[in-house]
Structure 1
């Protein structure tokens, strides 16, 4: 059996459709890629952070680790979007995928070669199951009356690092209140029914997850801006993609501009700005996580405004040159015109994406490291789904009455500039929400520790 359909006939437009076994093979491969990628992305960042837990000045080490981890990923994406696209266009898909297989095999062997030096933490519980238990237990114990300053309540702290729950989201505290020790606890001091009585740590884990959700949502909205890959290809196809006299950038590689600026920003920030600031202040300096997240959200608005402006200019040039009905026509306009919009997008991602991952890892309990490192990719996945919904909605609203849709397949007749002004409006609204959520969140854990350290130094 052949793994792929027969090639299409050059003499006609007919193609042999894929058979059921061929489709099953393809879908199985895609599922395996998704599972493998999900497994790596959900644990690699947390695993790397675990290796740094015993270092002094941990916050600075973690910040640098996240920066260079993201820089490495971005550099790999540049190689993929330029080098592999070039191989596939000039030597075929078989060579392109063969190179990928070899690289993945090399990565696996490299990872396992260092296994003797890794710090490995053994899993102690099913975290997701514990979160559901807290929700169920707090609902089942909803009739318990809570009073502020109540010190007579007994909490289930067996096996917990905390003896009392925090005062925020107090309705969840009902999940860890012991009403009758003889009925609720067994001889070992653990809960008879863990779906009605949870530990203090379990309650605080759910509280931590709920607390970061508003800021996490701002990342979803920001990720909508990076889900416009098809537009980037359409726009690049209409521009002169020659860089120099010999090299022509593939249209599918135009997104690599943003990746280049991400890597450039990380090098500038980690190797120049931070050391310079530390030298000026005479101590190790790292800019606050929330400040970097907020700057990233605001710059994402600027990138959408720049993209809308650039597309308006490109569309006007296309119409003036007589290409309104010819979306395949190449304008007398260089691909370098798109550099400002991708520079802003790269800086926004470099600021926000890294600090978001750092925020999740540092703010959630250590037991939730895998969930923390999964939240960024989860926001990207949700943004992709929302982007499809947004595009469908805009298309349905703008093509009424026989009008040309804003997101027409003919980029010169459509109005992708209007689309990006909509995204710019969403982005500035998202920034305002971020400011409100950030203020409501209060100081981060690292900021609290620094404040305590400063107070102790002052007393000394």
Structure 2
């Protein structure tokens, strides 16, 4: 029976599954692309203030990257990736349909009015409720598929090198779909109407689900092994119960289960007691997992503890990025968006500079820089932490350039006496926002794909789905924390009024660059002492 299962595993999977996984990722990411212009939708159609619209957008983006951790736990514990992806795709489809109704049915949104007018009505409880429900379902559904698809795609491949290549193109696909959302779809929304745009998002979600189901005959299905978090809890409880036991240097005094370990490592020695057998456990064949754990379970918990500082630095790294992306569209709305005298672009479309820079960076790293590095230094291939560290540097640089650009914009607004005019357009090209966004894109090309690959390969085997979702958790935490930063700045300073022409958004960006610099020091310390686990 075991032999036939092994043969079935080898018969399925491989690169033949790649088109299905990537096409599904593209369709589902495109369906959530309405978030690219969500701030404009909330301002123009539901009459939210600029800062409130930015906060709602942060909550949505944060939820899309927070939900994956729960989806991953469910996938790892009992449901498997395939079931979670199917169910989540249906949930996101329902969410997009509700948003489509909000955009097309006049009674489901406030009546039209001129932005800033005292005659603008706020949404009724029914209208707001339907809007929030649609955004919630979209967040849950898209969050349930994004990183679970990454784990399922990696499960189809056997070598770490191929998995690394897959993660590069996985991230590349996300950014290409976001590129389409920020260009073509934003154009459709603002020139053909929100109904047209949301209809396309709905179809993209449906196509993604259908393509995913079409590949079911070639997927390799990895059976869930039960909740890995129970194993971690068992180690902690067992170690506490045996806190008075003296540790033994003898391998035979520890509980093994064919895990390949001789004795527990000295790191966090307190936990080793969880795998140490007492007299009763040595003579008994059946022992409660809450009293005695295997050495493998103990070492799995230690591996996670070692990764935590790296994860924290990734979380802090993402906060300046989230703050910058919260205001980029609001800045763009106050700038001249004419490319020529007859052609102009929507403010949200400027985000494509980030997406293009990320895609180009990932392509160059995968096809040119890393292969060349391996040829020149075959004994010292680039590490994940080196790649992440370079991303830290570019993120700081992006915040500095963003601060300088905003300082220039405010200077132009003051020189033209536009400070007191709400939402006045400053005679300064929207393209000034391109340099900080491009630098930020280079940063994400380094650190985002690096973090996904690092977590997948360094987490214990039982946490493979959870591993990739952990990266999403850092981004989610950053979006939520960026709202805390925004609230704190609003309460302590006058930098962020509703009219950003009267504020000092440049000071917020300088604050972000300082946070990034301190975090870089913390990361370098953590990276210098981290030792890679070799599978």
Provide the TM-score with structure 2 as the length reference. Answer: 0.74
Once the 2 structures are TM-superposed, how far is the Cα of residue 26 of structure 1 from its aligned partner?
4.7
Aligned to 1:376: 471
Gaps of 5+ in 2: 1-100
Q: Which of 171, 196, 200 is 1:95 aligned to?
A: 196
Q: Which of 211, 221, 240 is 1:110 aligned to?
A: 211
Q: Distance in 1 between matches of 2:121 and 2:489?
A: 33
In the superposition, relative to structure 1, how do residues 141 and 31 fare at CA in structure 2: closer, same or farther (>3 Å)? farther
Q: Distance in 2 between matches of 1:236 and 1:278?
A: 42
Aligned to 1:131: 232
Q: Distance in 1 between matches of 2:189 and 2:379?
A: 46
Q: Distance in 2 between matches of 1:259 and 1:406?
A: 28
Q: Which of 334, 340, 347 is 1:238 aligned to?
A: 334
Aligned to 1:452: none
Once the 2 structures are TM-superposed, how far is the Cα of residue 348 of structure 1 from its aligned partner?
0.7
Once the 2 structures are TM-superposed, how far is the Cα of residue 248 of structure 1 from its aligned partner?
1.8
Once the 2 structures are TM-superposed, how far is the Cα of residue 185 of structure 1 from its aligned partner?
4.0
Q: Which segment is superposed worse, 24-33 or 100-109?
A: 24-33
In the superposition, relative to structure 1, how do residues 206 and 326 fare at CA in structure 2: closer, same or farther (>3 Å)? same
Provide the TM-score with structure 1 as the length reference. Answer: 0.86
**What SS does the corresponding residue of 2:426 show, helix, strand or coil?**
coil
Gaps of 5+ in 1: 399-404, 450-460
User: Any conservation in 2 of the 1:240–1:335 contact (CA below 8 Å)?
Assistant: yes
Map 1:259-298 onto structure 2 (within 5 A): 259-278=355-374, 280=376, 286-298=381-393
Map 1:408-419 onto structure 2 (within 5 A): 408-419=497-508
Map 1:286-435 onto structure 2 (within 5 A): 286-398=381-493, 405-435=494-524
Greater relative contact order (Cα 8 A, min sep 6): structure 1 or 2? 2
In the superposition, relative to structure 1, how do residues 136 and 278 fare at CA in structure 2: closer, same or farther (>3 Å)? closer
User: Any conservation in 1 of the 2:254–2:277 contact (CA below 8 Å)?
Assistant: yes
Q: Distance in 2 between matches of 1:377 and 1:301?
A: 21
Q: Distance in 2 between matches of 1:8 and 1:75?
A: 33
Map 1:41-190 onto structure 2 (within 5 A): 41-53=146-158, 55=159, 58-59=160-161, 61-146=162-247, 150-151=249-250, 154-158=253-257, 160-182=259-281, 185-186=284-285, 190=286
Coordinate RMSD, CA, aligned: 2.5
**What SS does the corresponding residue of 2:256 show, helix, strand or coil?**
coil
Once the 2 structures are TM-superposed, how far is the Cα of residue 137 of structure 1 from its aligned partner?
1.7
Deviation readout 1:266-310 (Å, 9 max, x if unpaired) = 1222223234445556x6985221111111011111111111111
Once the 2 structures are TM-superposed, how far is the Cα of residue 25 of structure 1 from its aligned partner?
5.1
User: Any conservation in 1 of the 2:155–2:220 contact (CA below 8 Å)?
Assistant: yes
Q: Are positions 1:13 and 2:119 aligned together?
A: yes
The structure whose Rg is larger is: 1
**What SS does the corresponding residue of 1:248 show, helix, strand or coil?**
coil
**What SS does the corresponding residue of 1:409 show, helix, strand or coil?**
coil
User: Any conservation in 2 of the 1:41–1:373 contact (CA below 8 Å)?
Assistant: no
Q: Distance in 1 between matches of 2:250 and 2:461?
A: 28
User: Any conservation in 2 of the 1:138–1:173 contact (CA below 8 Å)?
Assistant: yes
Q: Are positions 1:258 and 2:258 aligned together?
A: no
Q: Alignment length, in residue pairs?
A: 427
Q: Distance in 1 between matches of 2:281 and 2:386?
A: 50
